[in-house]
Amino acid sequence: MRALQPVRPVIDRPRSLDTIETPAVIVDLDRMERNLDAAGRYAAAHNLALRPHVKTHKAPVVAEAQLARGARGLTCATPFEAEVMSAVCDDILVAYPPIGAPRARRVASLPPRVRVTVALDSVHAVDEIAAAARAARRTVHVYVELDLGMHRVGVPGLADAVALAARVQAAQGLEFDGIAFYPGHVREPVMEQDSKLRVLGDALEHALARFDAAGMTPRVVSGGSTPTLWRTHELPGVTEFRPGTYVYNDRTTAAIGACTLDDCALTVLATVVSTAVPGQAVIDAGTKSLGREPVRGADGEGFGQLLEHPDVVVTRLSEEHGVLDLARSSWRPVVGERVRIVPNHVCIVVHLYDLVFGTRGDAVVSCWPVAARGRGPRAD
């Protein structure tokens, strides 16, 4: 593991949280670093390569902190994420089908010092990324994506998966590195995942046997998610895992027991703007600040939970208004009071903001742009 490196402060001097206009996204840096360290330790203990998915934070400064705390490379979804992250990382996986010549060209045009890998599941993708790799005079590494239960992307049949890997091997400009899968269908509470993990593990074992028999033993077996993070080692053959949400965690992750509420590093700072209607308070964070994501995989009503008053949830949303239901709480907020909300799904929230503020205790000590949000400038 490389030396610890704190997230760089990029404001000139610590400021009070009161000076920040709301709504704003706040990251408790101590919590975030604790989350990174825990995953780094887990990876080391189980000899797994940690390749975090940057879609959660979209910020090079956070990626640097991940790389300094045990990550071996990064995972991206969009070409723009890969471009932005190439400033701080020279080993990038684009875990999204590189379909369409403009997308393939963009991926193959990452700086030459970057080792680029793509995950794909079709002949179309192989041919397109091979052409882009040849045009860019580079090698693009490939994981063949398997559908091991999520039914989103991934080759479902093993004969087809092996044939696709053979096509990759035969393609000039490409190198077959291994297989990938995403266990996004395993979203139940951590202690209730046994049967799905067993089915997933069996499917994986079966797949590995078929690749072995075909003489194409995958060097890398890439999987993993935040809900299954701490059980990745139970999946036979996995060499690399790609959690994204774990950097900040969220209410959903806490609800399924993959973290505690105490591990949620990111909150939305909001202000109470009205208490006029009895039984509720209205904050300046609506769908354009919190998203409209449900809690998935566990019980949990509403669209976010108050950090300081966990019995209060955001029950209704307009674009710029969030309604707090006070029925189960003795807390009676006043207009102007500030609250911090743990969002249901943190990745969506981050993508709604330009800037993130980092805090230590009550002081704001840093601030960074969500540099990879959006699609970025396109070459053509």
Q: Does 243 bind ligand PLP (CB under 6 A)?
A: yes
Selected range binding ligand PLP among 30-38, 127-135, 236-244, 320-328, rule: CB under 6 A: 236-244
Q: Tell me which amino acid residue 137 is.
A: R
Smallest separation, CB 244 to ligand PLP (Å): 3
Indicate left, alpha or beta for 305 from its phi (over 0: left) and psi (-120 to 50: alpha): beta
Sign of CA dihedral 331, 335, 337, 339: positive
Q: Report the candidate in 322, 117, 143, 284 with the shortest Cα–Cα distance to residue 220.
A: 143
Which CB, 242 or 251, lies closer to ligand PLP?
Answer: 242
Q: Does 244 bind ligand PLP (CB under 6 A)?
A: yes
Which CB, 57 or 312, lies closer to ligand PLP?
Answer: 57
Q: Report the candidate in 333, 330, 304, 300 with the shortest Cα–Cα distance to residue 317.
A: 304
Where in 74-93 is the site for ligand PLP (CB under 6 A)? 75
Smallest separation, CB 177 to ligand PLP (Å): 16
Q: Before 294, cis peptide (omega within 30)?
A: no
Which CB, 182 or 357, lies closer to ligand PLP?
Answer: 182
Phi, psi of 225 (to 5 degrees): -160, 175
Smallest separation, CB 163 to ligand PLP (Å): 22
Tokens standing for residue 315: 């029950």
Q: Tokens 């208004």 sit at which residue?
A: 321
Which CB, 52 or 286, lies closer to ligand PLP?
Answer: 52
Cα 263 from Cα 248, distance rounded (Å): 8
Smallest separation, CB 227 to ligand PLP (Å): 6
User: Judged by CB under 6 A, how many residues of this single chain contact ligand PLP?
Assistant: 12
Going through 107-154 in order, the beta strands assigned E by DSSP cover 115-120, 140-145
- Determine the 3-state secondary structure of 269 from DSSP: strand
Which CB, 31 or 272, lies closer to ligand PLP?
Answer: 31
Binding test (CB under 6 A) with ligand PLP, winner from 245, 252, 359, 366: 245
Q: Binding pattern to ligand PLP, positions 94-123, x when CB under 6 A?
A: -x----------------------------
- Determine the 3-state secondary structure of 313 from DSSP: strand
Phi, psi of 125 (to 5 degrees): -65, -40
Q: Do 355 and 367 contact (CB within 8 A), yes or no?
A: yes
Binding test (CB under 6 A) with ligand PLP, winner from 42, 80, 182, 303: 182
Q: Does 53 bind ligand PLP (CB under 6 A)?
A: yes
Selected range binding ligand PLP among 100-108, 132-140, 220-228, 365-373, rule: CB under 6 A: 220-228
Q: Do 216 and 173 contact (CB within 8 A), yes or no?
A: no
Residues written for the chain: 380
Which CB, 226 or 271, lies closer to ligand PLP?
Answer: 226
Where in 4-23 is the site for ligand PLP (CB under 6 A)? none
Smallest separation, CB 243 to ligand PLP (Å): 4
Q: Does 226 bind ligand PLP (CB under 6 A)?
A: yes
- Which residues, including other chains, have CB under 8 Å from residue 167's CB and lie 6 or more apart? 123, 126
- Determine the 3-state secondary structure of 324 from DSSP: strand
Smallest separation, CB 206 to ligand PLP (Å): 21
Smallest separation, CB 53 to ligand PLP (Å): 4
Cα 90 from Cα 60, distance rounded (Å): 12
Selected range binding ligand PLP among 165-173, 241-249, 282-290, 333-341, rule: CB under 6 A: 241-249
| Binding residues for ligand PLP (CB under 6 A) | 53, 75, 95, 182, 225-227, 242-246
